[in-house]
Structure 1
Amino acid sequence: MKKIWTLFAALLSTATMASAQSAMSCCTKPATATETFAMLASNEDFSGGHDAPLPYTYAGEGETIEFKTTDGQTSKAFEIKSNIRSDKYLFVIHEWWGLNDYIKKEAAQYAKDLPGVNIIALDLYDGQVATDPDQAGKLMQGVKTDRAQAIIKGALLYAGPKAQIASVGWCFGGGWSLQTALLAGPKAVGCVMYYGMPEKDVAKLKTLNTDVLGIFASQDKWINPEVVAQFQKDMAAAKKKVTIKSYDADHAFANPSNPKYSKAYAADAHTAAVAYLKKNFKLKG
């Protein structure tokens, strides 16, 4: 009899654990697109494909600004204001290295290419900048979705109620460029995403107020052609327009500090991005 009760208790314990695991699996909030991409930081091939950026110091125009975020905190960003009064804003979102001087240089280039547009390079790492892949991976994995969204929402409030918002980002920032367009709601007028993780929730994609320019690399092992094809299907299901430019290159081909950098493809992609943004902002010339 004692053996029977022991067996019964063991079976009851196993059933209880299975039930708890089942409840956890069905009730746990699924990872977002950006969180899914952040998980790649633990992949040695992914981190190994990103050489540390070469030393560079930006010494051009622009200034650091601070604004309130929707979670009761503050955030800093790098801003280059338009020479004329404007409600047009381009949010520039950094790679997994953080808001370093390379990103400030990119912001300055967009300011030159898009006269009449205010450029704001956001900082989703709250002041932290990585100088090696291991550190970058930890920072990317450490980003909390709620905090990143609060920063973006704060920047939207900073831009003002009449703001027209477009976004551009690379890698980690590519995924967040699309999320920015979603958060901007009716203010969104453009979105450029370089090899970032697409949003997979069609219901969310249906809320987009803009089309999307997606720039990808056919040799990318992570944001690969299959991921891009699914994104096209999801956007079609959401009845939203997406233009895909795919290059015979590898992930991060537009980053000058990447050993697989392609100067020609990077230049062509940038030209396409500028043309798209000029059209969506309805800029003259």
Structure 2
Amino acid sequence: MIEFRTADGQAGKAFEIKSSTPSDKYLLVIHEWWGLNDYIKQEAARFARELPGVNVIALDLYDGQVAADAEQAGKLMQGVKTERAQSIIRGALRYAGPKAQVASIGWCFGGGWSMQTALLAGSQAKACVAYYGMPEKDVAKLKTLNTDVLFVFAQQDKWINQEVVDQFKKDMAAAKKGLTVKAYDADHAFANPSNPKYSKTFAEDAHAASVAYLKKNLKLK
């Protein structure tokens, strides 16, 4: 676990796995509505193994809080203030440094924030993976993206549904930005093994697609 100064003058927390060789390549991992729990740390470690030469930082947008059940998770997610979350992300970007090449990935709540991370990273953004998270709807903002986006879509999702994804496709086209949508006949959060709707087959396929995309965009061998 690390601490760093955030843009609002406070401290931010994150779980970091440094590359075994010095590197300016970073993957910022953003948790689901549960918070930065052991599962997300395990996922971060998996990416660190599969992406040698990349520093992996799993951000904590809940400032140390982790949900024990869905009701608490909902409250924590609703309680996130946009300005604070942006301050934490900006702090992590500053921690990575001005030469950092930044990729982001997140699920659910973190999927939406993965996109916001790519926007906040500006010219340093090199890759963005969003699993069933709310896309940015402002085309003017999307025009500032410095990367294409890999969007993982669960076709049975009642929240990030077909209508949301269709609009996102139109918005990204209007912004002249690249978008790849990987669609699965699954429900929201199908990639999390603790979810009753978990699909190992789809989760592994989406993970493999994410790793291949990250390797390509970060120019890993």
* TM-score interval, smaller chain: over 0.9
Match of 2:86 among 149, 156, 163: 149
CA offsets 1:58-86 (integer angstroms, 9 cap, x no match): xxxxxx00000000101110000000000
What is the CA-CA distance between 1:96 and the residue it aligns to? 0.1
- Structure 2 matches for 1:1-285, cutoff 5 A? 64-284=1-221
Q: Which residue identity lines up with residue 17 of structure 2 in the other structure? A: I
RMSD (Å) for aligned C-alpha atoms: 0.3
Greater Rg by CA: 1
Structure 2 spans left out of the alignment, 5+ residues: none
1:261 Cα deviation after fit: 0.2
Structure 2 Cα separation of the partners of residues 258 and 163 of structure 1: 34
Counterpart position of 1:57: none
- In structure 2, distance between residues paired with 1:205 and 1:153: 18
Cα distance between partner residues in 2 of 1:251 and 1:138: 18
Q: Deviations over 1:66-121 (max 9, x none)?
A: 00000010111000000000000000000000000000000000001100000000
Larger strand percent: 2
In structure 2, the residue corresponding to 1:250 is in which secondary structure? coil
Q: Secondary structure at the match of 1:91?
A: strand
Percent identity (aligned): 79
Amino acid across the alignment from 1:114: L
Gaps of 5+ in 1: 1-63
Residue 282 (structure 1) shift: 0.2
With normalisation by structure 1, the TM-score equals 0.77
Instruction: State how many pairs are aligned.
Output: 221
Structure 1 residue 208 displacement after superposition: 0.1
In the superposition, the TM-score normalised over structure 2's length comes to 1.00
**Distance in 1 separating the partners of 2:76 and 2:13:** 17
Rounded Cα–Cα distance in structure 1 between residues aligned with 2:158 and 2:72: 21
